[in-house]
Amino acid sequence: MFSKLILITGNANRPLAEEVSRHAGIPLADIDLFKFSNDESFVKINDNVRGADVFVIQPTCYPVNDNLIDLLIIIDALKRASAQRINCVIPYYAYARSDKKDQPRVPITAKLVADLITIAGAHRVITVDLHADQIQGFFNIPVDHLYAIPTFARYFKSIMPMDDIVVVSPDSGGANRARALAKRLNCTLAIGDKRRSGNEDRAELLNIIGEVNNKTVILFDDIIDTGGSLIKVANALVDKGVKKIYAACTHGVLSGSAVSDLEASPIEKLFITNTIPLSEEKKQCTKIVQLSIAEMLAIAIKKVHIEESISVLFR
């Protein structure tokens, strides 16, 4: 059993960390984290962490490389300050889509990032909706993989009737994820058939597999980045005669022209979680609704600390 629990956050998503802190009833530790004029990062832990069970809340969202380096040097600082255990809470795991060698002479960056975190001194990782489940196996330390599906399911049940809902996966790769949401909502499933070529964020939609005519659709995926694929599926669904289209994605990366493209799309609302903070511009988009996973993370942190199962979070 660990003597004391300490929460620390970097600069990646401080609002989420503060909300987790409130739910857990544990204040955030005091640290200095900034960049020198030469662009090098610096961290100093101002509180005593010797012998502590420390949880570092730091998604590796934009700016990805800065936030990743900040996470690594926080881990190193904690290790050198004699923290007993270092747990990395990474709600959004960057480079997750580089999870396999699908072209000649390309890296498996998701594995490299896992190695960096492990070698830096982390003892455990807690993350949310990895793009590919096998990334858990890239780590040689325990990984607690949490899911936003219960959060989305509770919310949808509270705002809309479930009698004409169809959950749609934009592609076959996300079918299991979408099927899990459909099961919780007790509704049917459809799948978009798309083909991606090269390294550009564009994909060709071939067909919609499943009955969606005169239905309300929830497009469900783990990440919305540029939004191109999701919007193509939405346009195809309009041609199939759907009544309304909603979208739900755990991680709202929303890069490039994603927000303006979303505004012009047939998607009525995009539901995302707060694994990634929204810029002021994105907050102004009336189509974006952000749900919080802070309570789920707080429960996971406290259960990991006292060595209890976190399976209650999957119900």
Q: Which fold has domain 5-147+294-314?
A: Rossmann fold (3.40.50)
Q: Is 252 annotated as a binding residue?
A: no
* pLDDT score recorded for residue 223: 97
Token pair listed for 71: 């996470």
Q: Is the pLDDT of residue 201 over 70?
A: no
Confidence of residue 122 (pLDDT cuts 50, 70, 90): very high
Confidence of residue 300 (pLDDT cuts 50, 70, 90): very high
Q: Is the pLDDT of residue 34 over 70?
A: yes
Nearest to 218 by CA among 291, 172, 135, 157: 157
Residue 169 carries which DSSP code?
E
Out of 194, 215, 232, 240, which one is annotated catalytic?
194
* pLDDT score recorded for residue 277: 98
Q: Is 124 annotated as a binding residue?
A: no
Residues 105-115, mean pLDDT to the nearest whole number: 97
Q: Is 133 annotated as a binding residue?
A: no
Packing angle of the helix pair 175-185, 149-159 (nearest 10 deg): 40
No. of helices (H) and no. of strands (E), the chain:
9, 14
* pLDDT score recorded for residue 137: 96
Q: Is 144 annotated as a binding residue?
A: no
Q: Is 227 annotated as a binding residue?
A: yes
What are the helix (H) ranges across 160-293?
Answer: 175-185, 228-239, 258-263, 280-283
Give yes or no for a contact between 11 and 33, defined as CB atoms under 8 angstroms apart: yes
* 287 has catalytic annotation: no
- Residue 310, helix vs strand vs coil: coil
Determine the distance from the C-alpha atom of residue 8 to the mean position of all C-alpha atoms in its chain, rounded to a whole number.
Answer: 19
In sequence order, what are the residues at sequence separation of 6 or more whose Cβ sits closer than 8 angstroms to the Cβ of residue 41? 33, 34, 35, 66, 69, 70, 73
Question: What element of type H or E holds 98?
Answer: none
Q: Is 137 annotated as a binding residue?
A: no
- 185-221 as b/e: b if 16+ CB within 10 A: bebebbbbebeeeeeeeebebeebebebeebbbbbbb
* pLDDT score recorded for residue 3: 77
- Using CA atoms, how far apart are residues 275 and 96, in angstroms rounded to an integer? 14
Q: Is the pLDDT of residue 197 over 70?
A: no
* pLDDT score recorded for residue 200: 59
Condensed to tens digits (0 to 9), the pLDDT of residues 256-287 reads 999 999 999 999 999 999 999 999 989 999 99
* pLDDT score recorded for residue 193: 80
Q: Is 281 annotated as a binding residue?
A: no
Q: Is 171 annotated as a binding residue?
A: yes
Give yes or no for a contact between 153 and 178, defined as CB atoms under 8 angstroms apart: no
Token pair 């041609």 in the structure block, residue: 239
Token pair 């209890």 in the structure block, residue: 308
Condensed to tens digits (0 to 9), the pLDDT of residues 37-89 reads 999 999 999 999 999 999 999 999 999 999 999 999 999 999 999 999 999 99
* pLDDT score recorded for residue 207: 83
Q: Is the pLDDT of residue 221 over 90?
A: yes
Query: Which residues are paired to 291 by β-bridges?
Result: 273
Q: Is the pLDDT of residue 18 over 80?
A: yes
Q: Does domain 149-291 have CATH number 3.40.50.2020?
A: yes
Domain boundaries, the chain: 5-147+294-314, 149-291
- Using CA atoms, how far apart are residues 8 and 214, in angstroms rounded to an integer? 49
Condensed to tens digits (0 to 9), the pLDDT of residues 206-216 reads 688 899 999 99
Q: Is the pLDDT of residue 171 over 80?
A: yes
Token pair listed for 167: 């959950």
Nearest to 292 by CA among 178, 184, 158, 148: 148
- Using CA atoms, how far apart are residues 111 and 120, in angstroms rounded to an integer? 14
Mean pLDDT of the chain: 94
The reply to whether 149-291 shares the fold of 5-147+294-314 is yes
- 27-36 as b/e: b if 16+ CB within 10 A: ebbebebeee
Q: Is 196 annotated as a binding residue?
A: yes
* pLDDT score recorded for residue 194: 66
pTM to 2 decimal places: 0.94
Strand pairing class (143-146; 165-169): unpaired
* pLDDT score recorded for residue 175: 93
* pLDDT score recorded for residue 173: 86
